[in-house]
Amino acid sequence: MREAVIVSTARTGMAKSVRGSFNNTHPIVLGGHALQHAIARAGVDAAEIDDVILGSGMPEGATGFNIARNVAIKAGCPVTTSGMTINRYCSSGLQAIALGAGRIVSEGVDVLAAGGLESISMVQLSGKMNTHQATEAGLLKAKPALWMQMIETA
């Protein structure tokens, strides 16, 4: 039986929500930064990552639109890298890691990234229906199709 191992880790610093130093930093930027460093620490090429699985307690607004895929692209993975965002509220990140390990053991996936992502500052329930930060400007400019609805691609 195959064995799943963690070969590197990375995380962003911590700050106060809403008034802290990351309050206006898009979660795609935060996640992309952490994933880019985890990939570098692992000593693998970003193109070797088969899948990125991220858990998010509130996958909407700034952390919506399958943020795992967008984080993968932001971190330098090719557009062929899959992304999956899951929600189990407080245990979302841990569930993502467990799913990733299961894919390695039972499905034969060689390299994947898994973890959790949250930005309480950027996911706020307000009169704007939590859409005011739905896109990240740099990635939207580089890859606008990431935010296309399925009907637009048909």
**86-105: per-residue pLDDT in tens?**
999 999 999 999 999 999 99
Cα angle, residue 78 at apex, residues 105 and 70 outer, rounded to 5°: 85
Residue 86 tokens read as 């899951």
* Residue-level pLDDT at 128: 65
Whether 17 is in a domain gets the answer no
Q: Which residues contact 113 (CB under 8 A, 6 or more apart)?
A: 35, 38, 39, 49, 51, 52, 53, 72, 100
* Residue-level pLDDT at 17: 82
* Residue-level pLDDT at 127: 63
Q: Which residues contact 138 (CB under 8 A, 6 or more apart)?
A: 29, 74
Cα angle, residue 11 at apex, residues 64 and 20 outer, rounded to 5°: 75
Per-residue pLDDT of 34-48, as tens digits, reads 999 999 999 999 999
Whether 77 is in a domain gets the answer yes
Whether the predicted pLDDT of 129 surpasses 70: no
* Total tally of structural domains belonging to the chain: 1
* CATH (domain of 67): 3.40.47.10
* Residue-level pLDDT at 45: 98
* Residue-level pLDDT at 11: 96
* Residue-level pLDDT at 70: 97
* Residue-level pLDDT at 154: 65
Average pLDDT over residues 17-22: 87
Residue 152 pLDDT grade (very low, low, confident, very high; cuts 50, 70, 90)? confident
Whether the predicted pLDDT of 150 surpasses 80: no
Whether 43 is in a domain gets the answer yes
Whether 18 is in a domain gets the answer no
Whether 13 is in a domain gets the answer no
User: 106 or 126: which carries more pLDDT confidence?
Assistant: 106
* Residue-level pLDDT at 5: 98
Query: Residue 89 is part of which domain span?
Result: 27-153
Average pLDDT over residues 45-72: 95
